[in-house]
Amino acid sequence: MKFYEYTKNNNPYVTEVHIADIHFGSVDPLKQYNILCEQFLNKISQINFDILSIDGDIFDKKFMANSDAVYYAVEFVRNCVDICRVKMATLIIISGTESHDAGQLKLFYGYEQDETVDVRIVEKASFIYAQGLKILCVPEEYGKGEDYYHAVLDDVYDTAFMHGTVVGSVYGASKEDLNSTKYPVFSIDSFGGCKGPIMCGHVHKAMCLNGYIYYCSNPIRYKFGEEEEKGFCILL
């Protein structure tokens, strides 16, 4: 668990919780759910926070609706909603890699209509306003081009939540490329209008790039080669 701080101008602190790359179905879903309950849900239920953001890849791939992976993913999100309702916090769910989330965030659309809790599901690059912050949310999309991204990146905003690739985060991502026909590659210069940290999912390794861009890692080590620390991030 890692802690970072930033302050909004003339406003109180906002506490954020970030988790990403859960990949329900990558291992036994019941075991995943139990680990998340013990090591994540139980812990955040004991603290005060304002925003909980799931920064992409709730699912490992597309599953049948009656699968255990879907059942426990739905239970996990329901638990997150319940905790946010009690704390009057905002839940943000950002669409991840297409082959992983695979359109399955539709399962959670109903929460956006629930007036007892603030839930936002983000599937296109856009701004949301929550808890006094202007937040740029950037899901992983493909073949959109730099004009699409600069329409939001060139604005001014408090912080950014995204699922995607930043220069230096993985081998081969050596320069910004927003025109890629595959996934776009962002750089610190992409976020020139951002006044706070950029929180990322997608790369399964906790790291800080350029002093402002953070990957919170995946919460569970589910395959060989992932020997780094796993967990989630809390920003105060």
Give the C-alpha separation, 80 to 195, whole Å: 27
Query: Above 60 in pLDDT, residue 73?
Result: yes
Q: How many CB atoms lie within 10 A of CB 89?
A: 24
Q: Judge whether 109 and 120 are in contact, CB under 8 Å.
A: no
Report how far Cα 5 is from the mean position of its chain's Cα atoms: 18
Mean pLDDT of 19-24: 98
Question: Which H helix or E strand runs over 18?
Answer: strand 16-19
Digit-coded pLDDT (tens) for 113-149 = 999 999 999 999 999 999 999 999 999 999 999 999 9
Q: What is the band of 8 on the pLDDT scale with cuts at 50, 70, 90?
A: very low
Q: What is the pTM of this model?
A: 0.93
pLDDT at 12: 67
Mean pLDDT of 94-102: 97
Query: Above 90 in pLDDT, residue 13?
Result: no
* Higher pLDDT pick, 98 / 6: 98
Query: Above 60 in pLDDT, residue 104?
Result: yes
Q: For the chain, how are helix, strand and coil distributed in percent, rounded to 5?
A: 25, 25, 50
Digit-coded pLDDT (tens) for 143-180 = 999 999 999 999 999 999 999 999 999 999 999 999 99
Mean pLDDT of 31-52: 97
Cα dihedral 31, 122, 124, 8 sign: negative
